[in-house]
Amino acid sequence: MVDIAAPDLHAHIEADDASDIDSAFGTSIEDGSFTTSITSSVKNYTLKLTDQSHHIFRLILGGALYLSPIGNAPQSVLDLGTGTGIWAIEFADEHPETRVVGNDLSPIQPTWVPPNCTFFVDDFDKEWPYNTPFDLVHGRELEGSVGDFDRLFQQAYEHLKPGGYLEMQTMEIFFYSDDGTHEKAINCLEINRLAREASAKFGKDIHTVNTWTDRMEKAGFKNVKQVTRKLPISPWPKDPKMKELGRFQLANMLEALDSYTLSLFTRVLGWKKEEVQVLNAGARSELKDRSIHMYCKVHFVYGQKPESSRND
Protein backbone atom coordinates (compact mmCIF):
# COMPACT_ATOMS: atom_id res chain seq x y z
CA MET A 1 0.00 0.00 0.00
CA VAL A 2 1.52 3.33 -1.07
CA ASP A 3 1.47 6.10 1.54
CA ILE A 4 0.86 9.20 -0.59
CA ALA A 5 2.49 12.27 0.95
CA ALA A 6 0.68 15.11 -0.85
CA PRO A 7 -2.88 16.23 0.03
CA ASP A 8 -5.91 15.43 -2.11
CA LEU A 9 -8.04 18.10 -3.78
CA HIS A 10 -10.41 18.50 -0.80
CA ALA A 11 -7.65 19.06 1.73
CA HIS A 12 -6.83 22.60 2.79
CA ILE A 13 -3.13 23.53 2.83
CA GLU A 14 -2.50 26.12 5.53
CA ALA A 15 -0.29 29.01 4.45
CA ASP A 16 2.73 30.09 6.47
CA ASP A 17 1.72 33.72 7.07
CA ALA A 18 5.18 34.58 8.34
CA SER A 19 6.67 33.63 5.00
CA ASP A 20 4.35 36.02 3.12
CA ILE A 21 6.43 38.95 4.30
CA ASP A 22 9.77 37.18 4.14
CA SER A 23 11.06 37.33 0.61
CA ALA A 24 14.54 36.05 1.47
CA PHE A 25 14.24 32.31 1.14
CA GLY A 26 16.41 29.54 -0.14
CA THR A 27 15.62 27.76 -3.37
CA SER A 28 19.02 26.25 -3.81
CA ILE A 29 19.49 22.52 -3.99
CA GLU A 30 22.30 23.08 -1.51
CA ASP A 31 19.60 23.73 1.07
CA GLY A 32 19.94 21.22 3.89
CA SER A 33 16.34 20.08 4.29
CA PHE A 34 16.02 19.60 0.55
CA THR A 35 18.97 17.25 0.24
CA THR A 36 18.07 15.34 3.39
CA SER A 37 14.70 14.52 1.92
CA ILE A 38 16.12 13.52 -1.39
CA THR A 39 18.80 11.29 -0.02
CA SER A 40 16.30 9.52 2.19
CA SER A 41 13.89 8.86 -0.66
CA VAL A 42 16.35 8.17 -3.45
CA LYS A 43 19.49 6.52 -2.24
CA ASN A 44 21.57 5.37 -5.11
CA TYR A 45 21.77 8.12 -7.70
CA THR A 46 23.39 11.49 -7.75
CA LEU A 47 20.90 14.31 -7.83
CA LYS A 48 20.76 16.03 -11.21
CA LEU A 49 18.69 19.11 -11.76
CA THR A 50 17.06 17.55 -14.83
CA ASP A 51 15.71 14.71 -12.69
CA GLN A 52 14.09 16.97 -10.13
CA SER A 53 10.54 16.20 -11.16
CA HIS A 54 11.33 12.48 -10.77
CA HIS A 55 12.26 13.10 -7.13
CA ILE A 56 9.13 15.17 -6.60
CA PHE A 57 7.02 12.30 -7.95
CA ARG A 58 8.77 9.92 -5.57
CA LEU A 59 8.31 12.24 -2.62
CA ILE A 60 4.59 12.54 -3.41
CA LEU A 61 4.28 8.75 -3.60
CA GLY A 62 6.10 8.36 -0.28
CA GLY A 63 9.12 6.89 -2.10
CA ALA A 64 7.16 4.58 -4.44
CA LEU A 65 7.48 4.57 -8.22
CA TYR A 66 3.89 3.62 -9.14
CA LEU A 67 0.44 3.03 -7.68
CA SER A 68 -0.79 0.10 -9.80
CA PRO A 69 -1.27 -3.07 -7.71
CA ILE A 70 1.00 -5.22 -9.88
CA GLY A 71 2.18 -7.49 -7.07
CA ASN A 72 5.74 -8.14 -5.95
CA ALA A 73 7.10 -10.10 -8.89
CA PRO A 74 6.46 -8.34 -12.21
CA GLN A 75 8.41 -10.06 -14.98
CA SER A 76 8.52 -7.25 -17.49
CA VAL A 77 7.89 -3.52 -17.48
CA LEU A 78 7.93 -0.89 -20.23
CA ASP A 79 8.65 2.82 -19.59
CA LEU A 80 7.34 4.96 -22.46
CA GLY A 81 9.29 8.15 -23.32
CA THR A 82 11.81 7.29 -20.62
CA GLY A 83 13.85 10.54 -20.94
CA THR A 84 17.01 10.21 -18.83
CA GLY A 85 15.77 6.74 -17.91
CA ILE A 86 15.76 7.46 -14.19
CA TRP A 87 12.37 5.84 -13.50
CA ALA A 88 13.35 2.70 -15.44
CA ILE A 89 16.79 2.49 -13.83
CA GLU A 90 15.41 2.82 -10.31
CA PHE A 91 12.64 0.32 -11.05
CA ALA A 92 15.23 -2.15 -12.36
CA ASP A 93 17.43 -1.58 -9.31
CA GLU A 94 14.56 -2.21 -6.91
CA HIS A 95 13.24 -5.23 -8.85
CA PRO A 96 16.33 -7.18 -10.01
CA GLU A 97 14.15 -10.03 -11.31
CA THR A 98 12.15 -7.75 -13.61
CA ARG A 99 13.15 -7.07 -17.21
CA VAL A 100 12.76 -3.31 -17.63
CA VAL A 101 12.61 -1.69 -21.07
CA GLY A 102 12.63 2.07 -21.66
CA ASN A 103 12.08 3.76 -25.00
CA ASP A 104 12.60 7.30 -26.23
CA LEU A 105 13.12 9.22 -29.44
CA SER A 106 16.41 10.52 -28.02
CA PRO A 107 19.34 8.34 -26.88
CA ILE A 108 19.98 10.43 -23.75
CA GLN A 109 20.00 7.55 -21.27
CA PRO A 110 23.23 6.56 -19.48
CA THR A 111 25.11 3.48 -20.67
CA TRP A 112 25.97 2.30 -17.17
CA VAL A 113 22.65 0.80 -16.08
CA PRO A 114 21.47 -2.25 -14.11
CA PRO A 115 21.81 -5.48 -16.17
CA ASN A 116 18.01 -5.99 -16.21
CA CYS A 117 17.40 -2.56 -17.80
CA THR A 118 17.53 -1.90 -21.56
CA PHE A 119 16.88 1.26 -23.54
CA PHE A 120 15.71 1.51 -27.16
CA VAL A 121 15.52 4.49 -29.44
CA ASP A 122 11.96 4.11 -30.57
CA ASP A 123 8.85 6.14 -31.46
CA PHE A 124 5.89 5.11 -29.31
CA ASP A 125 3.51 6.68 -31.85
CA LYS A 126 4.55 3.99 -34.33
CA GLU A 127 3.78 0.24 -34.15
CA TRP A 128 5.46 -1.13 -30.99
CA PRO A 129 8.16 -3.71 -31.79
CA TYR A 130 7.92 -5.76 -28.54
CA ASN A 131 7.06 -9.46 -28.75
CA THR A 132 6.83 -10.28 -25.04
CA PRO A 133 3.82 -8.82 -23.19
CA PHE A 134 4.37 -6.59 -20.13
CA ASP A 135 3.03 -6.62 -16.56
CA LEU A 136 3.18 -2.83 -16.42
CA VAL A 137 3.36 -0.13 -19.07
CA HIS A 138 4.30 3.19 -17.48
CA GLY A 139 4.31 6.66 -19.05
CA ARG A 140 5.23 9.75 -17.08
CA GLU A 141 5.18 13.42 -18.10
CA LEU A 142 4.02 12.67 -21.64
CA GLU A 143 1.39 15.41 -21.99
CA GLY A 144 2.51 17.55 -24.90
CA SER A 145 4.33 14.56 -26.45
CA VAL A 146 1.36 12.51 -27.66
CA GLY A 147 -0.90 13.35 -30.59
CA ASP A 148 -3.30 10.44 -30.19
CA PHE A 149 -3.81 9.08 -26.66
CA ASP A 150 -6.50 6.63 -27.87
CA ARG A 151 -3.93 4.92 -30.06
CA LEU A 152 -1.28 4.99 -27.32
CA PHE A 153 -3.64 3.37 -24.80
CA GLN A 154 -4.78 0.82 -27.38
CA GLN A 155 -1.18 -0.20 -28.09
CA ALA A 156 -0.48 -0.42 -24.35
CA TYR A 157 -3.51 -2.67 -23.96
CA GLU A 158 -2.34 -4.94 -26.77
CA HIS A 159 1.16 -5.22 -25.27
CA LEU A 160 0.04 -6.04 -21.71
CA LYS A 161 -0.49 -9.46 -20.22
CA PRO A 162 -4.05 -10.20 -19.08
CA GLY A 163 -4.24 -8.67 -15.59
CA GLY A 164 -1.40 -6.21 -16.39
CA TYR A 165 -1.61 -2.45 -15.78
CA LEU A 166 -1.14 0.77 -17.71
CA GLU A 167 -0.12 3.69 -15.46
CA MET A 168 0.18 7.28 -16.66
CA GLN A 169 1.56 9.97 -14.36
CA THR A 170 1.60 13.68 -15.00
CA MET A 171 2.25 17.00 -13.30
CA GLU A 172 -0.02 19.76 -14.61
CA ILE A 173 1.69 23.05 -15.20
CA PHE A 174 -1.60 24.88 -14.64
CA PHE A 175 -1.83 27.03 -11.54
CA TYR A 176 -4.58 26.94 -8.93
CA SER A 177 -5.18 28.36 -5.47
CA ASP A 178 -7.95 27.89 -2.90
CA ASP A 179 -7.87 31.48 -1.67
CA GLY A 180 -7.89 33.27 -5.05
CA THR A 181 -4.28 34.49 -4.72
CA HIS A 182 -3.38 32.82 -8.05
CA GLU A 183 -5.27 35.66 -9.75
CA LYS A 184 -2.39 37.98 -8.80
CA ALA A 185 -0.04 35.81 -10.90
CA ILE A 186 -1.06 37.34 -14.21
CA ASN A 187 2.10 36.28 -16.09
CA CYS A 188 1.79 32.68 -14.90
CA LEU A 189 -1.86 32.56 -15.93
CA GLU A 190 -0.98 34.04 -19.31
CA ILE A 191 1.65 31.34 -19.78
CA ASN A 192 -0.97 28.69 -18.93
CA ARG A 193 -3.37 30.11 -21.50
CA LEU A 194 -0.76 30.51 -24.25
CA ALA A 195 0.83 27.10 -23.65
CA ARG A 196 -2.54 25.42 -23.94
CA GLU A 197 -3.31 27.36 -27.13
CA ALA A 198 0.11 26.69 -28.69
CA SER A 199 0.26 23.00 -27.81
CA ALA A 200 -3.24 22.38 -29.19
CA LYS A 201 -2.30 24.26 -32.37
CA PHE A 202 0.84 22.12 -32.62
CA GLY A 203 -1.31 18.98 -32.32
CA LYS A 204 -0.02 17.74 -28.94
CA ASP A 205 -2.20 19.28 -26.27
CA ILE A 206 -0.55 19.71 -22.85
CA HIS A 207 -3.83 19.43 -20.94
CA THR A 208 -5.42 16.07 -21.70
CA VAL A 209 -5.26 14.29 -18.34
CA ASN A 210 -8.95 14.62 -17.60
CA THR A 211 -9.77 12.60 -20.73
CA TRP A 212 -7.54 9.67 -19.75
CA THR A 213 -9.92 7.59 -17.61
CA ASP A 214 -12.57 7.63 -20.37
CA ARG A 215 -9.98 6.84 -23.02
CA MET A 216 -8.53 3.95 -20.99
CA GLU A 217 -12.00 2.48 -20.48
CA LYS A 218 -12.67 2.88 -24.20
CA ALA A 219 -9.46 0.95 -24.91
CA GLY A 220 -10.78 -1.94 -22.75
CA PHE A 221 -9.13 -1.27 -19.37
CA LYS A 222 -11.06 -2.09 -16.19
CA ASN A 223 -10.69 -0.79 -12.61
CA VAL A 224 -9.49 2.54 -13.96
CA LYS A 225 -8.58 4.98 -11.20
CA GLN A 226 -7.45 8.59 -11.15
CA VAL A 227 -5.59 9.81 -8.07
CA THR A 228 -4.92 13.56 -7.95
CA ARG A 229 -2.81 15.42 -5.43
CA LYS A 230 -1.95 19.07 -4.77
CA LEU A 231 1.65 20.13 -5.20
CA PRO A 232 2.55 23.60 -3.79
CA ILE A 233 4.62 25.53 -6.32
CA SER A 234 6.71 27.40 -3.73
CA PRO A 235 7.48 27.10 0.00
CA TRP A 236 4.31 29.02 1.00
CA PRO A 237 2.68 26.25 3.12
CA LYS A 238 3.13 26.09 6.87
CA ASP A 239 3.50 22.33 7.09
CA PRO A 240 7.24 21.51 6.86
CA LYS A 241 6.76 18.62 4.41
CA MET A 242 4.55 20.70 2.14
CA LYS A 243 7.02 23.57 2.43
CA GLU A 244 9.80 21.28 1.33
CA LEU A 245 7.81 19.95 -1.61
CA GLY A 246 7.10 23.55 -2.58
CA ARG A 247 10.77 24.50 -2.35
CA PHE A 248 11.62 21.60 -4.57
CA GLN A 249 8.90 22.39 -7.10
CA LEU A 250 9.93 26.06 -7.23
CA ALA A 251 13.50 25.11 -8.17
CA ASN A 252 12.05 22.73 -10.76
CA MET A 253 9.76 25.36 -12.29
CA LEU A 254 12.35 28.14 -12.36
CA GLU A 255 14.64 25.75 -14.19
CA ALA A 256 12.00 24.41 -16.60
CA LEU A 257 10.20 27.61 -17.55
CA ASP A 258 12.34 28.58 -20.56
CA SER A 259 12.42 25.12 -22.08
CA TYR A 260 8.69 24.89 -21.62
CA THR A 261 7.80 28.23 -23.26
CA LEU A 262 10.58 29.40 -25.59
CA SER A 263 10.30 27.09 -28.56
CA LEU A 264 6.53 26.67 -28.25
CA PHE A 265 5.79 30.40 -28.19
CA THR A 266 8.37 31.43 -30.80
CA ARG A 267 7.71 28.62 -33.29
CA VAL A 268 3.99 28.11 -32.90
CA LEU A 269 2.74 31.54 -31.83
CA GLY A 270 5.35 33.65 -33.67
CA TRP A 271 6.55 35.51 -30.55
CA LYS A 272 10.03 37.05 -30.41
CA LYS A 273 12.48 35.38 -28.02
CA GLU A 274 12.81 38.65 -26.05
CA GLU A 275 9.03 38.84 -25.58
CA VAL A 276 8.95 35.33 -24.11
CA GLN A 277 11.86 36.23 -21.81
CA VAL A 278 9.97 39.26 -20.47
CA LEU A 279 6.87 37.13 -19.80
CA ASN A 280 9.01 34.48 -18.08
CA ALA A 281 10.76 37.09 -15.91
CA GLY A 282 7.36 38.27 -14.68
CA ALA A 283 6.28 34.67 -14.05
CA ARG A 284 9.47 33.94 -12.10
CA SER A 285 8.78 36.83 -9.68
CA GLU A 286 5.23 35.57 -9.17
CA LEU A 287 6.41 32.01 -8.58
CA LYS A 288 8.79 33.27 -5.89
CA ASP A 289 6.16 35.45 -4.19
CA ARG A 290 5.10 33.58 -1.07
CA SER A 291 1.93 35.65 -0.66
CA ILE A 292 0.65 33.82 -3.75
CA HIS A 293 -0.54 30.41 -2.57
CA MET A 294 -0.50 28.47 -5.83
CA TYR A 295 -0.41 24.75 -6.35
CA CYS A 296 -0.51 22.51 -9.37
CA LYS A 297 -2.12 19.09 -9.65
CA VAL A 298 -0.27 15.82 -9.98
CA HIS A 299 -2.22 12.93 -11.44
CA PHE A 300 -1.81 9.16 -11.41
CA VAL A 301 -4.19 7.35 -13.76
CA TYR A 302 -4.05 3.58 -13.97
CA GLY A 303 -6.17 0.72 -15.24
CA GLN A 304 -6.02 -3.03 -15.65
CA LYS A 305 -6.29 -5.23 -18.71
CA PRO A 306 -8.97 -7.78 -17.75
CA GLU A 307 -7.69 -11.17 -16.55
CA SER A 308 -10.12 -12.85 -18.93
CA SER A 309 -8.69 -11.13 -22.01
CA ARG A 310 -6.30 -12.95 -24.30
CA ASN A 311 -3.11 -11.92 -26.08
CA ASP A 312 -3.81 -13.09 -29.61
Distance between CA atoms of residues 300 and 229, nearest Å: 9
Closer to ligand SAM by Cβ: residue 23 or 106? 106
Site for ligand SAM contains 140 (CB under 6 A): yes
**139 in Cβ contact with 81 (< 8 Å):** yes
Piece of the chain touching ligand SAM by CB under 6 A; list 25-33, 119-127, 188-196, 286-294: 119-127
**190 in Cβ contact with 255 (< 8 Å):** no
Piece of the chain touching ligand SAM by CB under 6 A; list 15-23, 24-32, 123-131, 287-295: 123-131
Closer to ligand SAM by Cβ: residue 53 or 177? 53
DSSP 106: S
Piece of the chain touching ligand SAM by CB under 6 A; list 104-112, 129-137, 155-163, 288-296: 104-112
C-beta atoms surrounding 270 within 10 Å? 9
Least Å distance, CB 280 to ligand SAM, is 18
Kindly report the CA angle at 302 between 299 and 306, in degrees rounded to 5?
A: 170
Size of the site for ligand SAM (CB under 6 A): 17
Sign of CA dihedral 236, 238, 240, 242: negative
**Binder among 54, 161, 247, 299 for ligand SAM (CB under 6 A):** 54
Could you tell me how many residues make up the chain? Answer: 312
Largest CA distance in the chain: 63
DSSP 237: B
**Binder among 93, 141, 217, 258 for ligand SAM (CB under 6 A):** 141
**Binder among 74, 81, 164, 232 for ligand SAM (CB under 6 A):** 81
Least Å distance, CB 181 to ligand SAM, is 28
**Binder among 65, 68, 78, 83 for ligand SAM (CB under 6 A):** 83
**116 in Cβ contact with 182 (< 8 Å):** no
Piece of the chain touching ligand SAM by CB under 6 A; list 6-14, 26-34, 82-90, 128-136: 82-90
3-state SS class at 120? strand
Site for ligand SAM contains 14 (CB under 6 A): no
One-letter amino acid of 233:
I
List of residues contacting ligand SAM (CB under 6 A) = 54, 81-83, 86-87, 103-106, 123-125, 140-142, 145
